[in-house]
Structure 1
Amino acid sequence: MVYNQIVDYISTSLEQSNFDLIYLAWLWALFKPLCFLLLTLFLLPSTILLFVYGSSLFCLVYKHWNRLKTAYSNDIWNGAVKTLAILWELQATIWHGYEVEGLENIPTKGPVLIVFYHAALPIDFYYLFAKVWLYRNRRVRVVADKFVFKIPGLGTLIEALEIQPSTSAVCKSMLDEGHVLAISPGGVREALFSDHNYRLIWKQRRGFAKIAIESQATIIPMFTKNCREAVRSMKFGRRFLRYIYEKTRLPIVPLYGMFPVKMITYLGKPIPYDPDITAEVLAGQVKKEIELLIENHQRRPGSITQAILERLSCFSKKRTETKKE
């Protein structure tokens, strides 16, 4: 009896307020694609941006909290960087099932130059930085384009990670001091204008090879599977944007994604110092090694759907078996 009264009351209320459920369903069907588009273009990429700014904020807080302890510490950033490494490794594991193959190829001491393919957003490098710091007990030194130093809010993070401008003198100095240094010869150009076929855009760059020879550094080629499926650059208006970039060096190509794809970083066999090799030959050898890593481990053209499915072991094994055949 009471149940029937409640039902009648609700029905009457809906009729009186002209609450049209069919109309609401139609509105949802109409705007649902737009909601998913906004989720893909803005919400997911913003998560990694928030993580970067969160890291910078953490360093700022850590710096001031340890102001009284600086006299008792040789490096106030040591604890902060290690803590950030743990947080980034956790994020990499949860969101991308991130793995590294060949981490043992990085020696525990001596100058090392890691040469890598530059994804649209180099999150794979951030993840590798964490792995090397935690499991090889070495900090990977970072160089960046000039525009990075002009991004507001990242000053403390840049200071903590000791990021410096990407110049030949700075790179050589780091290697001469025996550090691990990571360089992408393709740089921002490769990040913005490569595609899901994973083309290397190096032009005639071989300065990294010259620096490696002069510093007697070991070179390790690096590539991360599905790094371009995690975050992609827009194809619309690419020719015009490429023209703008070449004239101004402004990275104005929109990015989208941050999809939870499977990511595996492959560190190739070390290329030891050879005093008899030229920079041109060495650069060509390194480029060939990276292209071989891409050929052996990456589906081309890349597929976001397939890369997400590779989080499941059955799809990953199937892909491996197909590649062997």
Structure 2
Amino acid sequence: MEKIPNKGPALIVYYHAAIPIDYYYFLANVIIQKGRTCHSVADHFIFKIPGFKLLLEVFSVIHGPQEECVRALKNGDLLGISPGGVREALFSDETYPLLWGKRRGFAQVAIDSQVPVIPMFTQNVREGFRSLGTLRLFRWLYERFRFPFAPVYGGFPVKFRTFLGDPIPYDPDLNAAELAERVQQAVQSLIDEHQKIPGSILRALLERFHTKHKEH
């Protein structure tokens, strides 16, 4: 948590699990340890769920227009975003591929706000909950209709460890594409360092009983 500034803005960029329970814990830790609120960017469909509007407002969730993100950061707030979003949540798997495509909006937000970017990854987060999105039918439904439905199973009491990388400082010489690539490499480095591939539910369960990190 020492990577998170005690005051001032920063953009936290994280790998999106099938259910991002690690990110919820992270938000709680920011409040408890830093006394700060972290705004979050969520997919548009979340805002269409009946009864969710008030909950989203309480947790400072925004639906992500770049102008609104820049405004939050220029106000001195923290902001969390996952470039992989729903696609990564549903269609990544226990080999932990980053499914960011050519998304660069988050990088442009960091450039326009002139803030550092902090990469984040949680070990074993795919072993806590698994998605059946790799089945062809669910991928087809999403790509054809943007229907974000794929069954998720799990709730396994595996050992999670969240790692924050070194902040990537604002660099006026970097454009959005270059910064996006650098951030993706930083998140990938956290995965390479801390996650044994492919992920194993049994191994992740056993890690609750010892503190051994990834074996190289």
Question: Which TM-score tier does this pair reach, normalised by the shorter chain?
Answer: over 0.9
Alignment match, 2:147: 250
Which of 101, 107, 121 does residue 209 from structure 1 map onto?
107
Answer yes or no: is 1:306 the counterpart of 2:203. Answer: yes
TM-score, with normalisation over the residues of structure 1? Answer: 0.64
Alignment match, 1:193: 91
Aligned residue pairs, count: 216
Paired with 2:180 and 2:60, the residues of 1 have a C-alpha distance of 27
Say whether the 8 Å CA contact 1:111–1:216 is kept in structure 2: no
Letter in 2 for 1:204: K
Which of 108, 112, 125 does residue 6 from structure 2 map onto?
108
Alignment match, 1:282: 179
Answer yes or no: is 1:239 the counterpart of 2:139. Answer: no
Paired with 1:162 and 1:239, the residues of 2 have a C-alpha distance of 35
Answer yes or no: is 1:294 the counterpart of 2:196. Answer: no
Q: Deviations over 1:130-155 (max 9, x none)?
A: 00111011111012111111223333
Say whether the 8 Å CA contact 1:113–1:220 is kept in structure 2: yes
Q: Deviations over 1:255-289 (max 9, x none)?
A: 00010000011000011111111111111111111
Paired with 1:153 and 1:230, the residues of 2 have a C-alpha distance of 27
Which of 262, 269, 275 does residue 166 from structure 2 map onto?
269
**1:162 deviation in Å?**
2.4
Letter in 2 for 1:173: R
Answer yes or no: is 1:118 the counterpart of 2:16. Answer: yes
Please identify, of 291-300 and 158-167, the stretch whose mean Cα deviation from structure 2 is larger.
158-167
RMSD across aligned C-alpha pairs, in angstroms? 1.3
What secondary structure, in the 3-state scheme, does the structure 2 residue paired with 1:104 have? coil
Relative contact order: is structure 1 or structure 2 higher (C-alpha 8 Å, sep ≥ 6)?
2
Paired with 2:20 and 2:105, the residues of 1 have a C-alpha distance of 21
Paired with 2:154 and 2:64, the residues of 1 have a C-alpha distance of 27
Paired with 1:235 and 1:248, the residues of 2 have a C-alpha distance of 15
**1:218 deviation in Å?**
0.8
Paired with 2:103 and 2:145, the residues of 1 have a C-alpha distance of 20
Say whether the 8 Å CA contact 2:133–2:139 is kept in structure 1: no
Answer yes or no: is 1:181 the counterpart of 2:75. Answer: no
Measured at CA, do residues 248 and 274 of structure 1 come closer, stay the same or move farther in structure 2, by a change above 3 Å? same
Larger radius of gyration: 1
**1:176 deviation in Å?**
1.5
Q: Deviations over 1:41-68 (max 9, x none)?
A: xxxxxxxxxxxxxxxxxxxxxxxxxxxx
**1:240 deviation in Å?**
2.2
Paired with 1:208 and 1:149, the residues of 2 have a C-alpha distance of 20
Alignment match, 2:124: 226
Identity in percent = 51
Paired with 2:53 and 2:105, the residues of 1 have a C-alpha distance of 28
Runs of 4+ in 1 over 2 A off after TM superposition: 152-156
TM-score, with normalisation over the residues of structure 2? Answer: 0.96
**1:191 deviation in Å?**
0.3
Say whether the 8 Å CA contact 2:27–2:37 is kept in structure 1: yes
What secondary structure, in the 3-state scheme, does the structure 2 residue paired with 1:310 have? helix
Paired with 2:161 and 2:208, the residues of 1 have a C-alpha distance of 11
**1:182 deviation in Å?**
0.4
Letter in 1 for 2:209: L
Structure 1, unpaired ranges of 5+: 1-102
**1:235 deviation in Å?**
5.1
